[in-house]
């Protein structure tokens, strides 16, 4: 089985690569080769099968053409200009997130075979006002260019699938917590910062109130969603191929309580409240909770608790212990 991962250098991409390299197989079929693609060259991990890495711009149709010449059995498409950048650079967002995705789908079409395509979408396809928990039949009315690009890509994926061009599934990831690495400037960054920084013994800033509720999954669980999406029987999924992934709906207050439980009160005390009006306003438009019934029926499983998400970060990123 040949695997192509587009967006392999990103945070979720690297988790996925590691998982596939350790397993050496997918759906009981041995992985025979893997191609990793991203805007910056992905690192080449150790594995029992040949791995090639490439860097390039997905908005250049020649790149997809080249990648598809190897006719991979499974294509994971995780690449995207992130929401903040898609909002400030309108042209780049559409060029990469919409045109790039369509070039990929067209390159697959020209190969005349039937691979599986696993596409990472986002809960950014939804826009306020929401019901208290968003169900599987709720409309996509994005309030960002990124959300529009993801929603259009989902629609294209469904049409290419319906026409028998490939076998596609789009999974809408929850906000990923705890993102490893440095604090970033994304408006949603604080959800990770308030856990990751105290766990590393550092201060973190909380810009919103403790009763803010949001929808989350760990990086490990997100990589698991991708692998599950690549293996499940899609015959039973029907034509609606964009699925909201199960997450956990927790408040910032509950996150901080869990941090104290798992890592001690002194860690939780490293969080400094510094309300930011802009971030508060943005966050008030974000979804708080979902009923991800279809994904749950298909065997996608959320993290068990926010305590578990914190423990996963300690295990996977901090070597299992706190300093």
Residue numbers annotated as active site: 146
DSSP 21-87: HHH-EETTEE--EEEEEESSPPP----SS-EEEEE--TTSHHHHHHHHTT--SEEEE-----HHHHH
Contacting residues for 119 by C-beta, under 8 A, at least 6 apart? 77, 101, 153, 154, 157, 168, 169, 170, 171
DSSP 82-115: -HHHHHH-HHHHIIIIIIIHHHHHHHHHHHTS--
Establish if 158 lies at the interface with a second copy (CB under 8 A): yes
Rounded Cα distance between 34 and 183, Å, is 31
Residues 264-283 that bind a second copy (CB under 8 A): none
Q: Which stretch, 158-166, 177-185, 255-263, 276-284, contacts a second copy (CB under 8 A)? A: 158-166
Q: Which stretch, 17-25, 36-44, 72-80, 159-167, contacts a second copy (CB under 8 A)? A: 159-167
Q: Give the nearest distance from C-beta 12 to a second copy in angstroms.
A: 24
Q: Tell me the two tokens of residue 86.
A: 């898609």
Q: Using alpha carbons, select from 68, 71, 73 the residue that is nearest to residue 29.
A: 73
Establish if 82 lies at the interface with a second copy (CB under 8 A): no
Residue placing its CB nearer to a second copy in the complex, 145 or 311:
145
Q: Using alpha carbons, select from 257, 176, 259 the residue that is nearest to residue 224.
A: 176
Find the binder of a second copy among 29, 240, 261, 272 (CB under 8 A). 240
Establish if 64 lies at the interface with a second copy (CB under 8 A): no
Establish if 155 lies at the interface with a second copy (CB under 8 A): yes
Q: Is 318 helix (H, G, I), strand (E, B) or coil?
A: coil
Rounded Cα distance between 172 and 150, Å, is 9
Rounded Cα distance between 302 and 317, Å, is 20
Residues 2-41 that bind a second copy (CB under 8 A): none
Q: Give the nearest distance from C-beta 137 to a second copy in angstroms.
A: 5
Asked whether the beta carbons of 236 and 285 are under 8 A apart, the reply is: no
Establish if 142 lies at the interface with a second copy (CB under 8 A): yes
Residue placing its CB nearer to a second copy in the complex, 240 or 261:
240
Residue placing its CB nearer to a second copy in the complex, 67 or 152:
152
The site map against a second copy for 88-127 (x = CB under 8 A) is --x------------------------------------x
Find the binder of a second copy among 46, 164, 239, 319 (CB under 8 A). 239
In the complex, which residues of this chain contact a second copy (CB under 8 A)? 90, 127, 131, 136-143, 145, 148, 151-152, 155-156, 158-159, 162-163, 239-240
């Amino acid at each position: 089985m040949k695997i192509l991962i587009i967006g392999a250098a990103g945070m979720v991409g690297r988790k996925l690569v590691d998982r596939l390299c350790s397993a050496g197989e997918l759906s009981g079929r041995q992985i025979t080769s893997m191609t990793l693609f991203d805007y910056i060259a992905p690192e080449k991990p150790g594995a029992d099968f040949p791995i090639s890495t490439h860097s390039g711009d997905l908005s250049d149709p020649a790149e997809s053409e080249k990648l598809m010449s190897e006719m991979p059995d499974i294509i994971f498409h995780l690449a995207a200009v992130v929401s903040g950048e898609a909002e400030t650079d309108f042209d780049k967002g559409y060029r990469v997130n919409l045109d790039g995705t369509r070039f990929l789908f067209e390159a697959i079409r020209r190969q005349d075979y039937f691979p599986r395509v696993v596409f990472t979408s986002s809960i950014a396809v939804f826009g306020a006002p929401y019901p208290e928990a968003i169900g599987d039949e709720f409309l996509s009315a994005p309030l960002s260019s990124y959300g529009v690009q993801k929603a259009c890509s989902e629609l294209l994926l469904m049409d290419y699938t319906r026409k028998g061009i490939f076998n596609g599934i789009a999974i809408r990831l929850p906000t990923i917590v705890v993102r490893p690495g440095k604090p970033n400037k994304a408006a949603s960054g604080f959800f990770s910062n308030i856990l990751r920084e105290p766990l590393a013994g550092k201060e973190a800033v909380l810009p919103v109130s403790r009763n803010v509720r949001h929808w989350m999954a760990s990086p490990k669980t997100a990589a698991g969603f991708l692998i599950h999406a690549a293996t499940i029987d899609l015959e039973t999924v029907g034509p609606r191929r964009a699925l909201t992934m199960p997450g956990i709906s927790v408040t910032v207050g509950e996150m901080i309580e869990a941090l104290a439980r798992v890592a001690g009160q002194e860690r939780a005390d490293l969080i400094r409240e510094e309300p930011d009006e802009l971030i508060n306003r943005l966050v008030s438009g974000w979804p708080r909770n979902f009923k991800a019934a279809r994904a749950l029926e298909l065997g996608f499983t959320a993290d068990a608790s926010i305590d578990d998400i914190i423990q996963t970060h300690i295990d996977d990123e901090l070597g299992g212990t706190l300093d």
